[in-house]
Chains A and B, each alone.
Chain A
């Protein structure tokens, strides 16, 4: 899932305090699961903003709407009337949701309430870790299901490097060395030869350095005629 966290409340107040009618839209997908932009967090944020405006003696109407997913046109459309009536929209979705709203309502100020961080998952209650770098050319089959693109600080494909000490990365003692994990996993599976097998250079053309990426499934497209 996409993991994010709410921006500091001071930053959100500074972004929104000039608008008299603010619509705060929550998202029921990934950001609900990571407790950043679901219904509870959106209600708390709206309440915080109302209190902040009262403190600043600013009269503002702050409404809340929940949305199943802000990254799909059909779920955004029912919000049209509310969005049109607002001076600005504060979205607690990830960056994808914010951009979808901004594209559907180009004349409206759409503001992000979250900092979208990474694709990952929870490792324990209240802790999320990055797992996937979205490189577009998955190599997990040869790395024991552990991604060095997302989990190695140097994105190395032939680690571990000299900074790996006692299974930890030199960047921080809190970060496991991805290549130590890969070695241990492959060893336990009896697949260590995968580390010495010749592997052609990774094709980075599907990665993000080539601008906005696109996936097209011709079989799913609706014909124009």
Chain B
């Protein structure tokens, strides 16, 4: 993994509050990646959908304040491209 990526562990991405994500930007992050469990693998059944909807809400705020919602990226475990490859590409 690239050295300039910091990992913050949470029990489930659906536990992330908008303030948590916004604070991460406030603390200097240029982009925030949220990793989500593979489809149909959520232990809480509805965590994936909840997370995506909440991320959309935060993206709308980021658009409103001029940072851009595209700076908040979700990554679903099991995608064709590995997380490491994406992070390496984006940190160049």
Contacts and interface: CB of A to CB of B under 8 A. Distances in A.
* Dominant SS among interface residues on chain B: helix
Nearest to B58: A44
Interface string B47-85: 000000000000001001111000000000000000000
A51 B69 CA distance: 13
Contacts of B67: 51, 55
* Dominant SS among interface residues on chain A: helix
Given A40-B17, A43-B19, A9 B26 contact: no
Nearest to A55: B66
Interface string A30-52: 00000000001001100111111
B47 to A, nearest CB: 14
Contact of B65 (A9, A40, A43): A9
Contact of A52 (B18, B19, B23, B65): B65
22 contacts: A9-B64, A9-B65, A10-B64, A13-B65, A40-B17, A43-B17, A43-B23, A44-B17, A44-B18, A44-B61, A47-B19, A47-B26, A48-B61, A48-B64, A48-B65, A49-B65, A50-B26, A51-B25, A51-B65, A51-B67, A52-B65, A52-B66
Given A13-B65, A43-B19, A48-B22, 6 more contacts: A9-B64, A9-B65, A10-B64, A43-B17, A47-B26, A55-B66
Interface of B: 17-19, 22-23, 25-26, 61, 64-67
